[in-house]
Every structure is written in C-alpha cells, then in structure tokens.
Amino acid sequence: MVGLKDTIAAIATPLGVGGIGVIRVSGANAGAIARLIFKPSKQLVELKSHYLHHGDIISPETNTILDEVLIAFLKGPHSFTGEDILEIHCHGGPLILQTILAEVIKAGARLAEPGEFTKRAFLNNRIDLSQAEAIAEMISAQSQKGLNLAISQLKGYLSQKLKAISSAVMDALVILESAIDFPEEQLTLPPSEDIAQQLQQLTDELHALLATYEQGKLYRYGIRAVIAGKPNVGKSSLLNRLVGARRAIVSHIPGTTRDFISETAHIKDIPVQFIDTAGIRNPKSTVERAGVELAWEKLSAADMLIIVLDGSEKLTVEDIEIIEKSRNQKSVFAINKTDLPHRLEEEKLSRLAPGVHSLHISAKHGEGIDALKEALYTLFINSPHQYETSQVMITNMRHKMAIEKAVHLMLQAKTALLQGLSPEFAAMDLKEALNALGEVTGKTIEEDVLDKIFSTFCIGK
C-alpha cells in the first residue's frame, strides 16, 4: 500500500480547455505548500480553514507569477480525505494546470495514484467502501436514475441497511456464543427455533435487496439493443428514428451498411445503446462477408434484439435464419413498412417464434416508434415501477456476490439450528456471513481487492 504519510497532488478537473481548473493536494504538507507557492492579495496572519483566499501562484525559485487564483485550505479531519487539503482554483488551460502542478510537486508533494484521494477518505474512516464506489458511479452515471441511485449510496442508505442487518446477525451470534462458552451455566437463552426464524427474516430482507440488482444494473450500465434483419428492411431508418437523429445512411440499395453503427438514447431514463448492423444475407463480396460475420457477433452478445421484418414481403430464408438463431435471446419483431400493402404471414411468424411480441411500424414516417419503445422497456424491465421509489438498490456486482454469500451462510446456520446440531456450526456460519456483509462496506475487505477497486478510479478523485 502506498504510504499514507505522503502528500499527494493531482489535477481534479477533466483534461482540455475550460474556464476553471482545480488542483487538489492532500496530506500533512498541504498547508506548507500553500504558504510556499501562494502569494495572497491581502496579507494573511494565518491560512484560515474552509475559506476562499485570493492571490497568485508563484514559482518560489524565480518569484514569477504563474496564475491568479483562488485557493481553499481545508484543515483535517474536517475534509474529504480526513487530511489537510489544499485546492487551487486556477484558469483551466492545460499548460497552466500542468505548470502549477509541477510547482506543487517541487514543493513537497508527489503525483497521486488513481483513486488515491477517495482511498484515503475510506482509510481515514470518512466514508465506507460502498460510498467510495458510489463516487465513481456518480461520475460515470449515464442517466438521472443512475445518478440518483449513486447519490443514495453515497449518502449511506445501503450501508445503513446492511449495518442494521449485520447488527441483528451479531445479536444471534452473541446468543450462540453464550451457549458455547457457558454450557454449564443456567442461562435463559431463546430457543433455536426462534433464532432460526430471525435468520429467515433477515435473509428475506437480503433477498429483497438482491432482487433489485437486475433493474439497478440497467440504470447503471444500460443495455445493448441490436437492430437485426436482412438487407433493405429499414434497419438504418429505424436507428435514426430511435435516437432522434440522422445517424445512419439510408439507401434503397441493399448492403449499404457494412460496419455496425452505434448510438445511445434513453428510454424512460434507461440508457440504451442501439446498434445497427449489416443486413444478413449470403454475402456477395469479401467486405460484405466481414460485415455479416460482425453482425452475427453483435447479435450473440446483445442484451436484446430488434428483428426488423419487411411487412410488404413474405418471410424469406434470411428472415427465418435470423429468427431461428435468436430463439434464446430477448427479442421483439418490428414489422416495418406499414405504408405499403401488407404481405407478411404473421401466423407463420407466430409459429416460428411463439411468445415474441410483434409491432407494426413505419421507420420512414415514424409510425409505431413510441409503441416500440414501450415494448422494449417492458421487455428489459420485467416488473416496471416495482423498485422506482426505493432508495436502496444494488447496482454493483461485487455487492451482489457478497450479499449472496451472506445469505447462503445464514441459511446454513438456520438449517444447523433446526437440525439440533451443536451451536458451534451455526456460529461459524454467522461469523463468515458477517465477514461477507462487511466486504460491501470494506470492513473486512482484503488489501489486494481494495487496491484493485481504487485502481479503476480516475487520477484526481
């Protein structure tokens, strides 16, 4: 683990030109660095904490002014990291930021590693691990709902719920250990059946939390929806309609799309990556063959498929091949070209793919697009609105796996109690269950796992 006694520094704002750039410094030398490179516009008796101070950043070696800035000094432990923090708010040019950062490092700091500011906040008990991960989720949020979920996690709602459950598990463990440690004493302890019932209630709560993962994952990561079909059925026109922009070239010439085209839009606050693929048919050239092979790859990796069919024609060999190879995936049929006479055999389509929803659309004129979006939403959210009012929703696979482990162990303990086994067996399972729940908040996390988590953060956060 990198030394916590080092003073670290990094640019906290994104790369590029902007009105304001921020350099963040954290550690015991933050105040000394400020006094060395900051020249206040008014004489200061002391660098007051939690105030903005106006002045210039200078190079101590040459006394050259590098920029006119505002700085904030935040005295630990009342800061994000729990350490002394210096924030330099300068003009947002890359050269300015790099020049000032270089002076900060000369003055006694080192360049921060990815996520090291947030890691220090965790190690100094300012936040727990799930809250630290929420910060990264806020930055990468693709939808308002995803952002709201990350904020609720940052506020500690998930931590509070797991803490309450862990406390109840600990109460059960104390009872069991009392029976183990004092077998000869005449202790009045609850019956094993009562403890087992309590464990069942706690696992029910955890199961309800786990049930939110699939929907929470959608709000965090979104879904990949591949638009598939034979050439010239209107896939590119449909992509343009779904994303509300002319993203793909539309032509009456079959095989216009050779590579895949991707664009993200939102359906009821869920980010959907729509992928337009090459028309699937027997390829007529090497280039088209590569496009068709890529289309099949995208189809197999998709979260869901929009299979576009030409409603003005009967089903073809290509249509049937696509339908048969997509049987095991979530799909919806978009029967296109409603502005033309209808010839597609829908009874045959129903036999080929029973239970798959069909909608009639006109990608050219925009008819049926709203109904298609609603069908897509219903398809990837099996129970719409079920968790929309919940403040606690799991969006992180690591959290899900840790909670599932805890549930398994708690149910093992419950079984041991009901079978009348020695309380040592149940107690051992409950100890491991507490460790599993502690992995979510970082209470029992291993150092190498911790390093891996924070390595995914950006530098300066």
pLDDT at 247: 52
Cα separation, 8 vs 26, in Å, equals 5
- Which of 335-366 are b and which e, b meaning 16 or more Cβ less than 10 Å from the residue's Cβ? bbbbeeeeebeeeebeebbeebebbbbbbbee
Closest CA to 216 of 398, 374, 442: 398
CATH number of 223-380: 3.40.50.300
pLDDT at 254: 46
Is the torsion defined by CA of 136, 208, 303, 314 positive or negative?
Answer: negative
DSSP letter assigned to residue 443? T
Q: In the numeric block, which tokens belong to residue 166? A: 């862990």
Q: In the numeric block, which tokens belong to residue 247? A: 């993203």
Q: Report whether the peptide linkage leading into residue 77 is cis, meaning its omega lies within 30 degrees of zero.
A: yes
Sole residue written with tokens 């779904």: 242
In CATH, 133-212+393-442 is 1.20.120.430: yes
pLDDT at 105: 97
pLDDT at 326: 85
H or E segment and range at residue 375: helix 369-380
Name the strands in the sheet holding 64-74, side by side, starting at the edge strand that comes first in the sequence: 38-40, 52-59, 64-74, 85-92, 18-26, 8-11, 110-111
DSSP letter assigned to residue 275? E
pLDDT at 121: 94
Residues 6+ apart with CB under 8 A from 45: none
Residues 6+ apart with CB under 8 A from 232: 252, 253, 254, 279, 310
Closest CA to 331 of 353, 349, 315: 353
In the Cβ-directed half-sphere of 106, how many Cα atoms lie within 13 Å? 12
How far is Cα of residue 337 from the mean position of the Cα atoms in its chain?
Answer: 38
Instruction: Supply the angle between the helices 157-181 and 192-210 in degrees, to the nearest 10.
Output: 160
Angle at alpha carbon of residue 121, lines to 120 and 122, rounded to 5°? 90
pLDDT at 253: 46
pLDDT at 251: 45
Cα separation, 376 vs 302, in Å, equals 13
Burial class (CB in 10 A: 0-12, 13-18, 19+), 252: exposed
pLDDT at 181: 67
Distances (CA, A) of 293 to 1, 202, 252: 46, 49, 22
Residue ranges of the chain that CATH labels 1.20.120.430: 133-212+393-442
- Of 3.30.1360.120, 3.30.200.20, 3.40.50.720, 3.40.50.300, the CATH number of 8-125 is 3.30.1360.120
Cα separation, 217 vs 229, in Å, equals 28
Q: Are 205 and 430 in contact (CB under 8 A)?
A: no
Closest CA to 149 of 163, 129, 130: 130
Q: In the numeric block, which tokens belong to residue 158? A: 């998930």
In the chain, the amino acid numbered 370 is D
Q: In the numeric block, which tokens belong to residue 250? A: 């539309």
Cα separation, 338 vs 293, in Å, equals 30
Q: Are 234 and 283 in contact (CB under 8 A)?
A: no
Residue ranges of the chain that CATH labels 3.30.1360.120: 8-125
Residue ranges of the chain that CATH labels 3.40.50.300: 223-380
Average pLDDT, 10 consecutive residues per value, the chain (461 residues)? 79 90 96 96 87 95 95 96 97 96 96 94 94 91 87 94 96 87 61 92 96 87 88 88 65 49 85 84 66 76 89 91 87 92 92 91 92 89 53 90 97 94 93 96 86 83 79
The model carries a pTM of 0.79
